[in-house]
Structure 1
């Protein structure tokens, strides 16, 4: 068994599941984790039904664990499930099934040379051993998602190595084909929302951060605080409305395609409307109270679009200090990590949220009430004209100035 890093380009299956026929739905391309929404890639489980996840806890012969499996499971659940229930408006439930004991790996932790940019042969050896020891006790046919959680205190474990590993050929275990797993090496307690970020990759969501070549620059220049797939430390880690469209959590009527050249007026419901407080059960009446338009889209090219959504201090975004209409570019031909989404800063000369933002230059990016903004290079103008009694935003979008 060999494995590829999570950022590797994988072959896109030839048979895709039709999804959206909207005129502003970008086509899915061969780019890794393409932001296209016309079809769903069937190589990934679609989070529109409950999915079951097994957590396997791996220890090593050179170290006695200082944490229990129950403590490590509690680091991630129910928090991760609650996040997805909230941002999906109760449409998706991730059901964890953590083992209650350690399973010992055959080799010392240091022998696997675990690190962020992992040697392919050593990473494959780790996965091969993990599947071999776990298969004695786990019926993998019962699960949609696999988390291999390593003893965080073992001397050879590097917390920076937590990631999704895509397999270049599916592993067949218990009659089930497994295409990817999440390898968890987080310290105890872990980084905030880290498992939610990695689980997002299992649903074909890309990395939205920028990784500097020298590792010394800023990682958050593309989207700042505004999406979990950019930074799980962000003040506004809700998922973009585009991602909720892609995952099947928005109904067709909640996406408005703005076409032609004439000004178009529309009302955008805040992204957080309909997200019940964390901890509410899926299917609760608290979910789904907001069913209005969440996303407006202007097509700008065969593989590009401008997206507009209303963000405010609700749901996971409770920490933001600037609310308004967020504008971002989507590129369906850009691969994960190469800027498939870029937030457009409506206030490029100012910054915000210095006390907690991962990237203050984009913290005040939204178009505020009463402001107008023309997107540089695209000539699309948006005006945030008013707010309704329920908190929705009334906009005017002009696709082509002077067109």
Structure 2
């Protein structure tokens, strides 16, 4: 037999601690400026230095690009102060296949997330309570947790085989706080098993967990920002920016499919499926439902199911400034949006210079004096935000007007957008 050489091991504990001392939560670190050319269109905003910038003219090469199949390892961590009540298989089922299915639908089959869960627990060296887990986790405690997690998994996991790392904590351990679930970025990548480890998803969810929470955190791994509004004092509503309309706003939303702008950013909507609307030229468009892909049934004009949508125009964009656009897309009870409250043409503003969590996307309410689906919506005032069939709407503060003129037999929406 050929000689078996050991895998390159993690750097020394001291070196790991030095690196982890510089880490921060996903909402705090600006990503590297390494760029790959991506979308070329007159209405494509340029990527800025803002963390998780909504610019999409280039792709930030520090993040894995979900335009192919990606492999994710799930590592299950237990603690000496608690005996796990759930098995790794049960915790895996909390998140998969639901997470993979969400991305399969959102990407129109262009991206597959392949989970690789371990089948056993790996014990951390210290009690769960010693890490002081909480939403605003201190850098020191977070660094200690990752340092220990990487130390106990070194030699048991070949990190070079995976694009994404999920560290899943025993949900029943006394110190585990579900609010601490977060993507942690390393300001300086850690060299592990011959590969650069730039970020880790730390999962502290209950069993069963919040709906689609892992899909939300995985969105950060793909350079998508938080779209919720976090009140300064911790009180008030978190969902005032986008309501139900994107997973990155709330995983509990009735229509959590990713915005068309995000699908363009991720490469799931092609430039030819984006219509850049110019000033002084009223434009008539046929917009396919955002959630419709090959083989997904959509209710057509006659009320009967129609198939075959997925390759036409998905997104219309009006440039409103150097770092801002208005976006228009058709939303309804299709695909990931099966529980959508009100169908129609959703209008939202995108700011490429806005930081994650500070309003990079804002849904514009076409019905500001009403609300809907108050029993299920995360933010009823925006549940009926879309412009409905037969309605017209002028965007406040902009000389831009959209009219929803009809539905095609195949289920697409015909609209007219006038600028100036």
TM-score when normalising by structure 1: 0.95
Give the alignment partner of residue 240 of structure 1, picking from 222, 246, 259: 259
Q: Which residue of 2 aligns with 1:302?
A: 322
Q: Does 1:313 align with 2:333?
A: yes
What are the superposed Cα offsets for residues 311-349 of structure 1, whole Å, 9 maximum, x if unpaired? 011111111221000000000000100000000000000
Q: Which residue of 1 aligns with 2:110?
A: 91
Kept after mapping to 2: 8 A contact 1:37/1:246: yes
Q: Which residue of 2 aligns with 1:281?
A: none
Give the alignment partner of residue 348 of structure 2, picking from 317, 328, 337: 328
Measure how far apart 1:275 and its partner are. Answer: 6.2
Aligned-CA RMSD value:
1.4
Q: Which residue of 2 aligns with 1:69?
A: 88
Give the alignment partner of residue 394 of structure 2, picking from 371, 374, 386: 374
CA distance in 1 between partners of 2:32 and 2:122 (Å): 34
Q: Does 1:173 align with 2:185?
A: no
- Shift in alpha-carbon separation, 1:29–1:171, aligned structure 2, 3 A: same
Q: Which residue of 2 aligns with 1:7?
A: 27
Kept after mapping to 2: 8 A contact 1:65/1:154: yes
Measure how far apart 1:215 and its partner are. Answer: 1.0
- Shift in alpha-carbon separation, 1:288–1:54, aligned structure 2, 3 A: farther
Kept after mapping to 1: 8 A contact 2:31/2:62: no
Q: Which residue of 2 aligns with 1:19?
A: 38
Give the alignment partner of residue 182 of structure 1, picking from 201, 218, 222: 201
Kept after mapping to 2: 8 A contact 1:208/1:341: yes
Q: Does 1:146 align with 2:165?
A: yes
Q: Which residue of 2 aligns with 1:283?
A: none
For the residue of structure 2 that corresponds to 1:239, the secondary structure is: coil
Q: Which residue of 2 aligns with 1:230?
A: 249
Measure how far apart 1:260 and its partner are. Answer: 2.5
Kept after mapping to 1: 8 A contact 2:31/2:52: no
Q: Does 1:359 align with 2:359?
A: no
Q: Does 1:196 align with 2:234?
A: no
Kept after mapping to 1: 8 A contact 2:289/2:331: yes
For the residue of structure 1 that corresponds to 2:202, the secondary structure is: strand
- Structure 2: give runs of 5+ residues left out of the alignment: 1-19, 298-305
Q: Which residue of 2 aligns with 1:103?
A: 122
Q: Which residue of 1 aligns with 2:370?
A: 350
Alignment of 1:250-261 (within 5 A): 250-261=269-280
- Shift in alpha-carbon separation, 1:288–1:214, aligned structure 2, 3 A: farther
Q: Which residue of 2 aligns with 1:293?
A: 313
Give the alignment partner of residue 118 of structure 1, picking from 137, 140, 146: 137
- Shift in alpha-carbon separation, 1:287–1:143, aligned structure 2, 3 A: farther
Q: Which residue of 1 aligns with 2:302?
A: none
Give the alignment partner of residue 31 of structure 1, picking from 29, 44, 50: 50
Q: Which residue of 2 aligns with 1:282?
A: none
Measure how far apart 1:9 and its partner are. Answer: 3.0
What are the superposed Cα offsets for residues 293-315 of structure 1, whole Å, 9 maximum, x if unpaired? 00000000000000000001111
- Shift in alpha-carbon separation, 1:271–1:113, aligned structure 2, 3 A: same
- Structure 1: give runs of 5+ residues left out of the alignment: 279-285
Q: Does 1:394 align with 2:414?
A: yes
Kept after mapping to 2: 8 A contact 1:88/1:275: no
Kept after mapping to 1: 8 A contact 2:165/2:200: yes
Measure how far apart 1:268 and its partner are. Answer: 0.4
What are the superposed Cα offsets for residues 95-146 of structure 1, whole Å, 9 maximum, x if unpaired? 0000000000011101111111001011001001101111120000000000
Q: Alignment length, in residue pairs?
A: 392
For the residue of structure 1 that corresponds to 2:330, the secondary structure is: strand
For the residue of structure 1 that corresponds to 2:219, the secondary structure is: helix
- Shift in alpha-carbon separation, 1:394–1:277, aligned structure 2, 3 A: closer
